[in-house]
């Protein structure tokens, strides 16, 4: 059986915050954040989440966010 699990390395150990905690590669998170931004006008909750998570991140010199 071939185990094809992608290798990912976190800078810190994952921990729970509230009921759930996940570790997402930063490139994936940028895409998720971009989709939140695109949906913010039609889905008010996405607008709230976009603001919340954008404040927690720093993407210096990144024109894609």
d(CA 33, CA 47): 10
| Token couple for 21 | 């905690």
pLDDT tens digits, one per residue of 6-23: 555 556 666 666 777 778
Report which DSSP code applies to 52. H
Annotated domain spans of the chain: 26-55
Q: Tell me the residue length of the chain.
A: 65
pLDDT tens digits, one per residue of 42-55: 999 999 999 988 88
The verdict on pTM exceeding 0.75 is no
The model's confidence at residue 59, banded by pLDDT at 50, 70 and 90, is: low
């Amino acid at each position: 059986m071939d185990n094809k699990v992608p290798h990912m390395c976190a800078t810190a150990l994952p921990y729970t915050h509230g009921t759930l905690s996940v570790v997402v590669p930063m490139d994936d998170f940028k895409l998720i954040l971009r989709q939140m931004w695109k949906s913010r006008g039609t889905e008010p909750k996405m607008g709230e989440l976009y603001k919340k998570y954008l404040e927690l991140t720093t993407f210096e010199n990144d024109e894609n966010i």
